Amino acid sequence: MRKGQVNVFILLLFVSLSSASDQRWRKAMMSAYNGSSSSSSSSSSSSSSSMMMMNRGGSSILFPIHGNVYPTGYYNVTINIGHPPKPYFLDLDTGSYLTWLQCNAPCVHCIEAPHPLYQPTNDLVPCKTPLCAALHPPGDYKCESPDQCDYEVEYADGGSSLRVLVLDLFSLNYTNGIRVGPRLTLGCGYDQIPGTSNHPLDGILGLGRGKSSIVSQLQSQGLVRNVVGHCLSGIGGGFLFVGDGLYDSSHVTWTPMSQDKYYSLGNAELHFGGKATGIRNLVVIFDSGSSYVRLNSQAYQALTVLLKKELSGRSLKEAPEDQTLPLCWKGRKPFRGNKGNVCLGILNGTQIGLQNLNVIGDVSMQDRMVIYDNEKQVIGWSPANCDHLPRFKSYM
Ligand SMILES: *[C@@H]1O[C@H](CO)[C@@H](O)[C@H](O)[C@H]1NC(C)=O
Ligand SMILES: *[C@@H]1O[C@H](CO)[C@@H](O)[C@H](O)[C@H]1NC(C)=O
Ligand SMILES: *[C@@H]1O[C@H](CO)[C@@H](O)[C@H](O)[C@H]1NC(C)=O
Ligand SMILES: *[C@@H]1O[C@H](CO)[C@@H](O)[C@H](O)[C@H]1NC(C)=O
């Protein structure tokens, strides 16, 4: 690897690829062109997952993750909110920065929810607060009712949530067992439009960059460092953590974030089989709210052409009858899992209106820790065993 060049691996391009023998796949790889790496990525490959797991007292909060890329298509965590605390299943989303619950205020349009709708407090967030301002584009910030802050979030799948910010108690446990109950701002959403990837949910846990994120709020109350990370297991599930107590920084490959509202490393070039393709200046973001990788039409086109060329004359044959994803193949013997085929976990982002944004989704972030350090403004990753929660004395 050239000095100063950063590589973001897009691994596990294939869903339900379980037989190791047929895994002669070249890995598509994206490399950030203009980024400058703060550490070499070779250091990470040798680290074992057990070395990764550290227990530095109560500096982190840990949440088990449920879900998988296929067939479920999303990941959720359970968060206890309110007084007395009630559980809610929230979708994990590093691509947005507001946490909201479907809310009985009463609800005008709600989508199906696994739990009874959240009953909001009367504790409204006033309009003239930095946190409210952070949710509105500058200049477009009219406080029509000064005692409340309206919000609207829209997602790439066309879904949205609309309404008002409230303050309520979050019931959280540090990894050492100590309990905290901070008052945090969340959205009381009582007007939702379902997106194309609609499924039952209580709300969304927005972990993206910005003052309004739960992590940033916890930091401003002195409870954790403004760091969030996830470890998604290839067999489903995994864990989410907030704070910096669960990893050894020296075993993590760190790369500076670019100046962007998303978690991004700046411009990238598409590599295929270790070789540059000449497709450059791809703006790539890390988005746990997306199950698959999305490339813009040009990059997607180039990748599929290269991939088909690579596969021609091999035992894999295209399976156009399999509608699971746009590109699926069957092997000589069926693979384990869905219909016995394998499918490409990279899709055409232009199709869903992403324009020039390219997304690294869950399928390529499995079996590694991905860490977003908003204080040092770096993103890091490291191989890890995400099948089990890291163990702590208080848990044993
Ligand atoms: C936090 O710990 C308490 C026991 O100390 C437990 O009852 C509770 O379920 C835990 N909450 C979460 C969200 O893990
Ligand atoms: C979310 O996670 C829980 C487990 O905590 C699981 O039972 C549930 O099916 C998941 N999905 C939804 C839609 O809530
Ligand atoms: C690198 O970034 C600069 C601006 O920061 C841009 O003008 C240039 O085209 C980029 N080059 C590549 C190869 O991405
Ligand atoms: C990607 O989607 C766009 C919009 O639907 C379409 O025009 C384009 O042909 C697609 N690209 C490929 C390579 O399929």
Kindly state whether residues 81 and 155 are assigned to the same domain. yes
Q: Which domain holds residue 273?
A: 6-53+248-383
- DSSP state string for 207-271: -SSSTTSHHHHHHHTTSS-SEEEEEE-TTS-EEEEEESSSS-GGGSEEEEPPSSSSSEEEEEEEE
| pLDDT for the residue 278 | 93
- 108 in any annotated domain: yes
| HSE-CB of 41 using CA atoms within 13 angstroms | 19
Domain boundary among the residues 160, 194, 225 is at: 225
- 100 in any annotated domain: yes
The Å distance, Cα 365 to ligand 1 centre, comes to 28
Residue with tokens 């006033």: 126
Kindly state whether residues 299 and 161 are assigned to the same domain. no
3-state SS, residue 308: helix
- 177 in any annotated domain: yes
| pLDDT for the residue 58 | 61
The Å distance, Cα 67 to ligand 1 centre, comes to 21
- 340 in any annotated domain: yes
**Tens of each residue's pLDDT in the chain, 396 residues:** 333 333 333 333 333 332 222 222 222 333 333 333 333 333 333 333 333 444 444 689 999 999 999 889 999 999 999 999 999 999 999 989 899 999 999 999 999 999 999 999 999 999 999 999 988 887 777 788 899 999 999 888 888 888 999 999 999 999 988 999 999 999 999 999 998 888 999 999 999 998 999 999 999 999 999 999 999 999 999 999 999 999 999 999 999 999 888 999 988 999 998 999 999 999 999 999 899 999 999 999 999 999 999 998 888 899 999 998 999 999 888 888 768 899 999 999 999 888 888 999 999 999 999 999 999 999 999 999 999 998 764 443
Kindly state whether residues 88 and 10 are assigned to the same domain. no
User: Cα–Cα distance between 83 and 166 in angstroms, integer?
Assistant: 14
| pLDDT for the residue 22 | 21
User: Cα–Cα distance between 205 and 61 in angstroms, integer?
Assistant: 15
User: Cα–Cα distance between 344 and 361 in angstroms, integer?
Assistant: 13
**Which residues contact ligand 3 via a Cβ below 6 A?**
33-34, 267, 280-281
Q: Which residues pair with 62 in a beta bridge?
A: 241
Number of structural domains (the chain) is: 2
- 26 in any annotated domain: yes
Cβ-contact 3, 38 below 8 angstroms: no
Phi and psi angles of residue 352, each rounded to the nearest 5 degrees, phi first: -105, 20
Kindly state whether residues 151 and 279 are assigned to the same domain. no
Kindly state whether residues 212 and 75 are assigned to the same domain. yes
93 is catalytic: yes
Among 22, 202, 244, 287, the active-site one is 287
Closest-lying ligand to the alpha carbon of 348? 4
The set of residues, in sequence order, having a beta carbon less than 8 Å from that of 79 and lying 6+ positions away, is 63, 87, 88, 90, 170, 205
Kindly state whether residues 297 and 208 are assigned to the same domain. no
Q: Which residues pair with 6 in a beta bridge?
A: 32
| pLDDT for the residue 391 | 74
The Å distance, Cα 183 to ligand 1 centre, comes to 17
Structure-token pair, residue 297:
């039409």
Residue with tokens 């901070």: 182
- 154 in any annotated domain: yes
Structure-token pair, residue 318:
């295209």
| pLDDT for the residue 392 | 62
CATH number at residue 106: 2.40.70.10
Burial label, 83 (beta-carbon count in 10 A; 0-12, 13-18, 19+):
exposed
- 391 in any annotated domain: no
- 393 in any annotated domain: no
